Amino acid sequence: MNVEALKDLLYKIADDQLILGHRNSEWTGLGPLLEEDIAFSSMAQDKVGQSYAFYQLLEQLGEQKPDTIAFHRSAENFKNCQLVELPNQEYDFSLIRHFLFDKAELLRFELLSQSSYEPLALLSKKLLGEVRYHVMHADAFIKQLGSATEESILRLQTSLNEALPYALGIFEPSDLEMDIINDGIFAGEEALKERWIETVFTTISKTELNLADIDSITPIYGGRRGIHTEHLQPLLNEMTEVLNLDPSAEW
Amino acid sequence: MYGGGNVFETIKSVEIADEDPIKLYEFEERIDRGEKIEPRDWMPDLYRKQLIRMIEQHAHSEIIGALPEGTWITRAPGFRRKMALMAKVQDEVGHAQLLYSAAETLGKPREQMIIDLINGKSKYSNIFNYPAFTWADCSFISWLVDAGAIVNQLANAKGSYGPYCRALERICAEESFHLKYGHHCVIHLATGSPIQRKMMQEAVNRWWPPMMHFFGPADKISIHSETLMRWKVKMASNDAMRQQFLDMYVPKIWELGLTIPDPKMKKNEETGKWEYTEPDWEEFKRVINGDGPCNKERLAVRRIAEERGAWVRRALLNKKAEYVQPLA
Amino acid sequence: MESLDPRINRLKSKAEWDEEIQKSAMDQFETYEVFIQIRENRPYEHVGIMHAPNEEMALIFGKEQYSRRYTCTGIFVVRTDHVKITAFSENEENIYEHMDLNGIQDGGESFEIFHLKKRGKQHIHVGKVEAGDYEGALSVSANLYNIGTPVYNVWVVKTSDILSIPPEDKMIWDTLPEKKFRDAMAYKAGDKIKEFKERNQK
């Protein structure tokens, strides 16, 4: 098995989860309704916890400790897609991102449950329950807000249009994509994307929102190769601000 | 978490003397028997109003209390702190939800409670009107302010009103992790590198005066407070809770090599009571009435959150929705 | 407004308003009573309320609020105004004995019955009955479920008013067991304190 290909995959999954979990935690205490605040914060925690589990898999493969990987890399070494590093803006953008990303994540874990790398298959199976809830939540919100008022429909549509090109960056193929597929590690980004388009469409078609023809959209790539927007480094600086007061100390 | 310093001001209410004497007798009998009062029971007007105010203040304290620690949520150093702090602040929002629910069973809608908070009409635990300047401040709050809140909660959990007691039971179960986490953070700072130790000591120096205010001034002895104790609304005196807190936590603070910025702080071995410099109660009054470093910001943030989220609530609202008081 | 909280600064919001905040009457929605099953085969128990715009949201919210820290195997919700309640009994008396059980027993509609056995505790689901109306349901329940210690208070709900998690989604209760950071036991630091004291004594 091409271990580099495996690590490449694990890094991008873990980095996606860490950055998105971090972004979503910015809403804690500031949500539109207490009950929703609780739910959204819970899901943010889940994401960060999941990223930790994936960094642990990397550690078992010879990479450094999770804290080191997560808190001591600079932006160009992160493999998350650009979608997850974008600022939160208003709740409509955060909900749309949550919807687009988590639908892909659920499908990814379902596919990874068949991975030839057993620790990965096991972990993915374990996470299905949590991510299934995330999708349940996202579907409910998009379905309801997507058919509710002129205002909510307009807001979601605008966010959807803005997010889609970035969302396609989730599926940016790795340089080692063929090995990932041939070694049975993962069915590949193309396979994932196909399933994703279908399930996104299924939900959107129950609303007043329009889903543009995916083939007509130019994906925004780069994240998987360490090319990021101007938002990632400030995010990382903030995330590591306290740690960097004394990097050798135990916090 | 929640603070004492709950000022049991006299509420303009139906005079107890005007309440139905038989019903009042049966009500007090039930409490003496150790039975809980439930939402649909008869209760004196004063009991209802005082409880609404107390539970509501507790709920507000949780949601406002999420803000100083929330300040550091994106900057927590390392995975274990990050996940724990995310969980802790989320718990506080969860506790607010549980407590508002308990207050609602007494007849005040949640909309009104939120309005009263944001308009400055309702109070919340005063300690949250101070700024969390550093990670050490955040850790102080997570440990010692939580510890104070637990002293308060454990007392109130034996109160007479069913829904409030049940909410407190759930809350107390979650608090044990908060306290241990907070203590763990402070231990690491206090016994860590010179930079960490300095940061922690400075935080203790800043937060000690508000912490001494936490349980409120000595209770004024009055028929009013006597009644509230008899009705198991007020469960322990402010001084008693303060003493309990000092007894449990001052030794633990000193054990870490931290100093407390009060030269008089010591336990009188003969009386068993802690002696200290009397806190500045004028400052307490000033801050709790709006003139503290963060009052404006705390309320502004709540308002910002409500207004930014209004479009979501507006969109989801079913026009046929009607108000019904919750059951239990 | 300059805050110490970078999240708040990113909101770039104003901090002064000309008017006091207003809220419409149902801004926080209606409430739903939430019932949780802690383990398979245990009865569902009332735990509290959720504010939500509809059943679907109430269920989604309730799942996170009531199973964040404790495991669960089931949840259902019902709008508060769909819960019919009896009076309370006193002094160890059974409320069933104080009811006028005159409702329509035939009718084939399904109802769920909940009993409160002790003041201060919460209602527990005891089972289903078939009847024509709420009073009828109480009559049937009086024959079927009125066993053992006295019942203080009864709640009746139409089965059709209840929403629960569909069976195909039961896996949402599986979460990473390794959530040690939420466990108080994971925070032992006695060694650190001991070490610190020893260092200072030198």
Per residue in B195-223, pLDDT tens? 999 999 999 999 999 999 999 998 877 77
For residue C192, the model assigns a pLDDT of: 80
Contact by Cβ (8 Å): B57, B114:
no
- Of the two residues C148 and A4, the one the predictor is more confident about is A4
Interface test with C, best of B165, B232, B297, B325 (most C CBs within 10 A): B297
- The answer to which of A85-94, A107-116, B171-180, B247-256 has the lowest mean pLDDT is B171-180
To the nearest whole Å, the CA of B318 is away from the closest chain A CA by: 10
CA distance B59 to chain C (A): 15
Minimum-distance CB partner of B327 among C15, C33, C65? C33
Work out how many CB contacts closer than 8 A connect A with B: 133
Contact present, A188 and A108 (Cβ < 8 Å): no
% of chain B exceeding 70 in pLDDT: 95
Distances (CA, A) of C70 to B174, B215, C140, C173, C174: 10, 31, 35, 10, 11
pLDDT at B2: 43
Inter-residue contact B27 to B19 (CB < 8 Å)? no
Rounded CA separation B286/B236 (Å): 25
- A11-30 as b/e: b if 16+ CB within 10 A: bbbbbbbbbbbbbbbbbbbb
Q: How far, CA to CA in Å, does C146 sit from each of B28, C45, C84, C153?
A: 30, 18, 18, 11
- Give the model confidence (pLDDT) of B164-200 as tens digits: 999 999 999 888 889 999 999 999 999 999 999 999 9
Half-sphere exposure of B125 (CA within 13 A, CB side): 31
Chain A residues close to B97, C-beta within 8 Å: 34-35, 38
Q: Work out the burial of residue A248: count CB atoms within 10 Å of its CB; fewer than 13 is exposed, 13-18 middle, 19 or more buried.
A: exposed
Q: What was the pLDDT predicted at A56?
A: 96
- Contact list, B179 vs chain C (CB under 8 Å): 184
pLDDT digits (tens, 9 = 90+) for C21-30: 989 989 999 9
CATH topology of domain B16-316: Ferritin (1.20.1260)
Q: What single-letter DSSP state applies at residue B220?
A: P
Phi-psi region of C29 (alpha: psi -120 to 50; beta: other; left: phi over 0): left
Mark which residues 135-154 of B lie under 8 Å from C by CB.
none
Burial C76-112 (b: 16+ CB within 10 A, else e): bbbbbbbbbebebbeeeeebbeebeeebebeeebebb
Q: Which residue has the tokens 């032992």?
A: C188
Of B278, B123, B139, B126, the closest CA to residue B215 belongs to B126
Query: Considering only CA atoms, which of A34, C138, C33 is closest in space to residue B327?
Result: C33
CB A45 within 8 A of CB C69: no
B305 touches chain C (CB under 8 A): no
Res B3: pLDDT = 45
Position C94, amino acid? N
Q: Do A34 and B97 touch (CB under 8 A)?
A: yes
A26–C10 CB contact, under 8 Å: yes
CB within 8 Å: C184 and B176: yes
Q: Per-residue pLDDT for B9 more than 70?
A: no
- As beta bridge partners, residue C84 has C156
Find out whether B58 and B163 touch, Cβ atoms under 8 Å. Answer: no
A34 and chain C in contact, CB less than 8 A: yes
Q: What is the ipTM of this complex?
A: 0.96
Task: Order the strands of the C84-85 sheet from edge to edge.
Answer: C84-85, C153-158, C109-116, C124-131, C45-52, C30-37, C74-79, C163-164
Which among A15, A19, A25 is the top mutation candidate for probing chain B, defined by the most B β-carbons within 10 Å of its own β-carbon?
A25
- For the segment C66-74, the average pLDDT, to the nearest whole number, is 83
Could B79 and A35 be called an inter-chain contact, meaning their C-beta atoms sit closer than 8 Å? no
* pLDDT class of C184 with cuts at 50, 70, 90: low
Is the predicted pLDDT of residue C50 greater than 50, yes or no?
yes
Mean of the per-residue pLDDT values for chain B?
93
CB contacts of A46 in chain C (<8 Å) are 175-176
Q: How confident is the model at residue A69 (pLDDT cuts 50, 70, 90)?
A: very high
* Band of residue C188 on the pLDDT scale cut at 50, 70, 90: confident
Which residues 42-101 in chain A show a CB within 8 A of chain C? 42, 46, 49-50, 53, 87-88
Return the pLDDT at C172.
80
pLDDT tens-digit readout, A15-35: 999 999 999 999 999 999 999
Question: Using 50, 70 and 90 to split pLDDT, how confident is the model at C44?
Answer: very high
Does residue B224 carry a pLDDT above 90?
A: no
CB–CB contact B311 A239 (8 Å): no
Q: Which fold has domain A3-245?
A: Ferritin (1.20.1260)
Give the mean pLDDT of A183-202: 97
Query: Which of C53, C60, C68 minimises the CB distance to A136?
Result: C60
Residue B283 has pLDDT above 50, yes or no: yes
Tokens coding C47: 């735990």
Q: Point out the residue among B111, B132, B167 whose CB comes nearest to the CB of C28.
A: B111
Touching subunits for chain B (3+ Cβ pairs under 8 A): A, C
Residues in A closer than 8 angstroms to C65, CB to CB, are: 35, 38-39
Q: pLDDT value at position B286?
A: 94
Judge whether C123 is closer than 8 Å to chain B, CB to CB.
yes
- Please indicate if any CB of chain C lies within 8 Å of the CB of B180: yes
Residue A180 in contact with residue A5, Cβ under 8 Å?
A: yes
Q: Could you read off the pLDDT of B52-99 as tens digits, one per residue?
A: 999 999 999 999 999 999 999 999 999 999 999 999 999 999 999 999
Evaluate whether A250 touches C195 at the Cβ level (below 8 Å): no
How do the domains of chain A map onto residue ranges? 3-245
pLDDT (0 to 100) of residue C182: 60
Residue C178 has pLDDT above 60, yes or no: no
CB spacing of B300 vs C1 below 8 angstroms: yes
pLDDT grade for B7, boundaries at 50, 70 and 90: low
Give the Cα-Cα-Cα angle A162, A168, A170 (nearest 5 degrees). 120
**Surface of C (6-25) touching A: CB under 8 A:** 6-8, 10-11
pLDDT > 70? residue C179: no
At C173 the pLDDT is 80
Give the DSSP letter of residue A122: H
| pLDDT of res. B1 | 41
* Chain C CB within 8 Å of residue A119 CB: no
Distance from CA of C101 to the nearest CA of B (A): 22
Tell me phi and psi for residue B114, to 5 degrees.
-65, -45
Confirm whether pTM is higher than 0.80. Answer: yes
